[in-house]
Amino acid sequence: MKIIVQTPGGLGEILQSARKARGMTQAQAAAHLGIGQPRLSALETTGAASLSLEQMLALFALYGLELCVQSREAAASAAEW
Protein backbone atom coordinates (compact mmCIF):
# COMPACT_ATOMS: atom_id res chain seq x y z
CA MET A 1 0.00 0.00 0.00
CA LYS A 2 1.25 3.49 -0.85
CA ILE A 3 0.36 6.36 1.49
CA ILE A 4 1.23 9.99 0.82
CA VAL A 5 2.31 11.86 3.94
CA GLN A 6 1.73 15.60 3.89
CA THR A 7 1.90 16.54 7.56
CA PRO A 8 3.84 15.45 10.65
CA GLY A 9 0.54 14.42 12.24
CA GLY A 10 -0.24 12.21 9.25
CA LEU A 11 3.09 10.47 9.64
CA GLY A 12 2.38 9.97 13.33
CA GLU A 13 -0.91 8.24 12.56
CA ILE A 14 0.78 5.92 10.06
CA LEU A 15 3.52 5.04 12.53
CA GLN A 16 1.02 4.36 15.29
CA SER A 17 -1.01 2.05 13.05
CA ALA A 18 2.12 0.22 11.90
CA ARG A 19 3.32 -0.25 15.50
CA LYS A 20 -0.03 -1.64 16.59
CA ALA A 21 -0.13 -3.96 13.56
CA ARG A 22 3.21 -5.36 14.74
CA GLY A 23 1.75 -5.93 18.21
CA MET A 24 4.28 -3.61 19.86
CA THR A 25 3.81 -1.16 22.70
CA GLN A 26 5.21 2.33 22.56
CA ALA A 27 7.64 1.36 25.30
CA GLN A 28 8.96 -1.60 23.27
CA ALA A 29 9.40 0.46 20.10
CA ALA A 30 10.99 3.36 21.97
CA ALA A 31 13.44 1.03 23.72
CA HIS A 32 14.47 -0.40 20.34
CA LEU A 33 15.29 3.14 19.15
CA GLY A 34 16.93 4.22 22.38
CA ILE A 35 14.41 6.99 23.05
CA GLY A 36 11.84 7.50 25.78
CA GLN A 37 8.24 6.33 25.44
CA PRO A 38 6.87 9.88 25.93
CA ARG A 39 8.86 11.04 22.90
CA LEU A 40 7.43 8.27 20.72
CA SER A 41 3.96 9.06 22.05
CA ALA A 42 4.38 12.71 21.06
CA LEU A 43 5.48 11.64 17.57
CA GLU A 44 2.46 9.39 17.14
CA THR A 45 -0.16 11.75 18.55
CA THR A 46 0.93 15.20 17.39
CA GLY A 47 3.81 14.63 15.02
CA ALA A 48 5.65 17.26 17.04
CA ALA A 49 8.50 15.14 18.39
CA SER A 50 11.68 15.12 16.35
CA LEU A 51 13.78 12.09 15.52
CA SER A 52 17.04 11.89 13.66
CA LEU A 53 16.88 10.47 10.16
CA GLU A 54 18.75 7.42 11.47
CA GLN A 55 16.13 6.89 14.18
CA MET A 56 13.26 7.40 11.72
CA LEU A 57 14.70 4.85 9.29
CA ALA A 58 15.22 2.41 12.16
CA LEU A 59 11.59 2.90 13.18
CA PHE A 60 10.43 2.26 9.59
CA ALA A 61 12.50 -0.94 9.49
CA LEU A 62 11.13 -2.06 12.86
CA TYR A 63 7.57 -1.61 11.57
CA GLY A 64 8.25 -3.20 8.18
CA LEU A 65 7.90 0.11 6.33
CA GLU A 66 10.14 1.79 3.77
CA LEU A 67 10.62 5.39 2.73
CA CYS A 68 10.07 6.34 -0.90
CA VAL A 69 10.67 9.88 -2.12
CA GLN A 70 9.36 11.10 -5.46
CA SER A 71 8.54 14.41 -7.09
CA ARG A 72 5.01 15.72 -6.70
CA GLU A 73 4.72 15.80 -10.47
CA ALA A 74 5.40 12.05 -10.61
CA ALA A 75 2.78 11.42 -7.93
CA ALA A 76 0.21 13.52 -9.80
CA SER A 77 0.90 11.68 -13.05
CA ALA A 78 0.48 8.30 -11.39
CA ALA A 79 -2.83 9.39 -9.85
CA GLU A 80 -4.28 10.18 -13.26
CA TRP A 81 -4.14 6.54 -14.35
- Reported as a single tens digit per residue, the pLDDT across 22-64 is 999 999 999 999 999 999 999 999 888 888 999 999 999 999 9
Give the pLDDT band (50/70/90) at residue 70: confident
Domain 8-80 of CATH type 1.10.1060.10: no
Helix axes 8-21, 53-63, angle to 10 degrees: 40
Each domain of the chain, given as residue ranges in start order, spans 8-80
Give phi and psi for 52, each to the nearest 5: -70, 160
Q: What is the pLDDT of residue 73?
A: 82
Name residues whose C-beta falls within 8 Å of residue 14's C-beta, 6 or more positions apart in sequence: 3, 5, 65
pTM above 0.85, yes or no: no
Across residues 9-30, what is the average pLDDT? 95
